Structure 1
Amino acid sequence: MTEGNFVDYVKVHLASGNGGKGSVHLHREKYVAKGGPDGGDGGRGGHIILRGNKNLWTLFSFKFKKHFKAGHGEHGSKNRSTGADGKDEIIEVPLGTVVRDSQTNEVLFEITEHGQEKIVLDGGKGGRGNWHFKSPTNQTPRYAQPGIPGKEMQITLELKVLADVGLVGFPNAGKSTLLSVLTSAKPKIADYEFTTLKPNLGIVQYRDFRSFVMADIPGIIEGAAEGKGLGHYFLRHIERNSSLLFLIPADSKDISKEYDILLNELRKYNPELLDKQRLVAISKSDMLDDELMEEMRKELDKDLQTPYLFISSVAQMGLSELKDKLWAMLNE
């Protein structure tokens, strides 16, 4: 999926259907002199319903259609016939979609399961026909209820990527390169910061036809939790990942300090993110010789409180061990 096709934030306008009018009808039939009222009820207006679909990965379809309208209820008719209900408008969204009221920014609900349905807007109720209003003192009521009009509102759809493993690191740490090597994904790769501006998803093939989903999250910088460098847009995608893989390049000045900065940004954004399982991968390790790697191990064993390993995407170094560790983390 190309970067331009990954849409994770969109506003849409919704309108539910009007309820149908109740019928004002008096029964007329041969040999029935005074049949009385028999006007039927109006049908209800169509609902606006959101449904989860596991086959969707992005809100891309909403780029072209942002207005949704449900059908109106039919009016009631004679012989107490109720009008047909308006057609419901069912909108399919990817799993991990958060639905907000655009005016108040209040979270209405989240869609996290395949086939899960939520009514966003109820259709208007149909009006009652005149036969409901007959009484001993009013045997031929010549009035009925109008249908209740439908509602309108604007909602914001926000996608938080659902993936097994989320790649976390500073810009240009080699996250996209690792994703391209482990999966069939083809993210944009270049030697400058913020090459990745939208999450990329890839499926990692493991042994015995097993697999798991990995997400390349755009680079986090210091101050991301306050919104610096589009931090809020990037950090929300980490919330739904089962495990986090921190990628820190071997040529960093201080690996432990970089890891602490990343952890601090996650803590400031949402402390619950630190409850997830974590693994640190020292990328670009093909630049290190055995002696330097051994020295770094001594320092990391002392300073880093998280499991780590040395990898190189380009040299295909340590990738099998990385997949083994990630699979073990996901299945603990």
Structure 2
Amino acid sequence: MVQFSRICYRKYGNFVDNLRLYVRGGSGGMGLPRLGGHGGKGGDVWVVAKKDMTLKRIKDKYPQKRFIAGVGTNSSIRALKGERGKDQEIFAPAGITVTTDDGKALGELNAEGDSVLVAKGGHGGSFHSGFEPSKGQAKQIRLDLKLIADLGLVGFPNAGKSSLLTAMSHATPQIASYAFTTLRPEIGKLMFKDHKQISVADLPGLIEGAHLNKGMGHKFLKHVERTKQLLFVVDVCGFQLASKMPFRSAFEAVQLLTKELELYKEELVSKPALLVVNKMDLPDAEDKLAELQEQLRNPDEFSDLLPDDMIPKRNMLFRHVVPVSASTRFGIEHLKTCIRESLDEDAATATKAIHQDRLQTLRQTDTAKTATPIWGSRSSA
């Protein structure tokens, strides 16, 4: 069985990554029977991505968490067509999924300006409805934040992820020499000389049993889903989460991290990944690194280091294995180069695929234009 420590039950603090809201579309306006007037439609409720918004800001600003659109106006002698009710917009951060309370997906907000219709307004009264209006849709919805970043740092507590992010970028996450310093996601930006920017998400440390939602389990793993690539970070000398838990070598840490991702969602193991071997300034680090590299080359030969239920079905294939020391900045520039190469490689592959699809579409269009229609050949005959 996977073991875990009670110390892992900590919260994000003031960070809010999901929110439950009540939404209701506006009711339609009354029709006017004697003149055949049509009542105005009720307003709709939309969730709209806006810059600098957070779920916590929504929670603080709207403690009742109720959003109701405007009512359509009644038909009258002066205005046989009633005016439409005012739409209600809920401004939210980019990078969220919108679902109903029972889990049905309504849409995603991936970039500023994206919007999702969550509750339609009712129809105005008309001849077809006996001039009676209908009510707007009413439901509970959930806004679930999943960070969007080029890279997600994956590692056990105290592997040095926050120190690494600080060394690579301009982010200033909280850093200390004890586990669970990072209690909320932190985004850093890697800046390159050609002004290229790469975003890196430092996430709360994973623990054994995270796929069962132990510790910050699912709060961590759901953010990993929305990163393009993974950056595994391990302590070259291994780690021990708590005194009653077993010591784990760097290789065991890699295998356990892989297993946790696999058990949560198997396709996460297919993401492109790099491995950062941190704390190379420690004594015996070179020997430990050589041992790790040998184990990574022949992982099956060292499978007896872990119980059978903790061995991943599929080993991670790392594009680069980069030794660094976040505290002395050894290897940091080389790591940034490897990150850039890996992301550029995927971007080039994606661009090539798009180009091939367009070329195929053009060929099919040209073929359709030049082909002689059947009715045309009969006519000429």
* C-alpha contact 2:280 2:286 (8 A) present in aligned 1: no
Distance in 1 between residues matched to 2:285 and 2:42, nearest whole Å? 72
How far apart are the structure 2 equivalents of 1:189 and 1:4? 16
| CA deviation profile, 1:250-282 (whole Å, cap 9, x unmatched) | 221521111011001101111111111111101
- Cα distance in 1 between the residues matched to 2:90 and 2:155: 35
- Go from structure 1 to structure 2 and tell me whether the alpha carbon gap of 1:225 and 1:290 turns closer, same or farther (over 3 Å shift): closer
Distance 1:83 1:174 in 2: 62
* Structure-1 separation of matches of 2:89 and 2:286: 62
Q: Equivalents in 1 of 2:194, 2:91: separation in Å?
A: 33
- Which residue matches 2:38? 41
Higher relative contact order (CA 8 A, sep 6+): 1
Describe the SS at the equivalent of 1:100. strand
* Separation of aligned partners in 1, 2:335 and 2:204: 21
TM-score, L = length of structure 1? 0.85
| Cα 1:174/1:294, change in 2 over 3 Å | closer
Amino acid at match of 2:329: Q
Cα deviation 1:219-243 (Å, max 9, x = unaligned)? 1111110111120111000001001
State the identity as a percent. 37
Structure 1 runs not aligned, ≥5 long: 25-36, 134-142
Shift of 1:288: 4.1
Are the equivalent residues in 2 in contact too, given 1:39–1:79 (CA < 8 A)?
A: no
C-alpha separation in 2, matches of 1:221 and 1:118: 35
Q: Which among 153, 156, 170 is matched to residue 156 of structure 2?
A: 170
Measured in 2, the distance between the counterparts of 1:199 and 1:247 equals 16
The structure-2 alpha-carbon separation of the partners of 1:297 and 1:192, relative to structure 1 and needing over 3 Å to count, comes to: closer
Tell me the amino acid that sits aligned with residue 180 of structure 1. Answer: T
Does structure 2 retain, via aligned residues, the 8 Å contact 1:38–1:80?
Answer: no
Quick one: which of 263, 277, 282 aligns to 1:282?
277
1:112-147 Cα offsets, whole Å, 9 max, x none, are 24433221110010001xxx48xxxxxxxxx95121
Q: Provide the residue aligned with 1:71 in structure 2.
A: 70
User: Do structure 1's residue 126 and structure 2's residue 124 form an aligned pair?
Assistant: yes
Q: After superposition, where does 1:25-40 map in structure 2 within 5 Å?
A: 37-40=34-37
Aligned with 2:227: secondary structure?
Answer: coil
Aligned partners of 1:18 and 1:298: how far apart in 2? 66
- Once the two structures are superposed, the pairs formed by residues 266-281 of structure 1 within 5 Å of their partners are 266-281=261-276
Q: CA RMSD in A?
A: 2.2
TM-score by length of 2: 0.74
Aligned to 1:203: 189
Letter in 2 for 1:46: G
Q: Give 3-state SS (helix, strand or coil) of 2:57's partner.
A: helix
2:321 aligned with 1:308? yes
Deviation of residue 301 (structure 1)?
Answer: 5.5
Preserved CA contact (<8 Å) 2:237 2:285: no
* Distance (Å, rounded) in 1 between the aligned partners of 2:20 and 2:263: 27
Which structure has more helix as a fraction of its residues? 2
CA–CA distance in structure 2, aligned partners of residues 162 and 223 of structure 1: 24
- SS, match of residue 164 in structure 1: strand
The residue matched to 1:10 in structure 2 has which SS? strand
CA distance in 2, matches of 1:15, 1:275: 41
Question: Structure 1's 124 and 288: CA in aligned 2 closer, same or farther, altered over 3 A?
Answer: same
Q: Which has the larger radius of gyration?
A: 1
Structure 1 position 60, deviation (Å)? 2.5
Is residue 230 from structure 1 mapped to residue 227 from structure 2 by the alignment? no
Q: Which amino acid in 2 is paired with 1:319?
A: I
- State whether residues 325 and 332 of structure 2, in contact with CA within 8 Å, keep that contact through their aligned partners in structure 1: yes
Partner of 1:92: 91
Cα deviation, 1:19-72, whole Å, max 9, x if unaligned, reads 000024xxxxxxxxxxxx42421100000112234x346422222122211111
Q: Which moved more, 1:174-183 or 1:318-327?
A: 174-183
CA contact under 8 A between 1:41 and 1:80: conserved in structure 2? Answer: no
The residue aligned with 1:260 is 255
Distance (whole Å) between structure 1 residues aligned to residue 73 and residue 18 of structure 2: 36
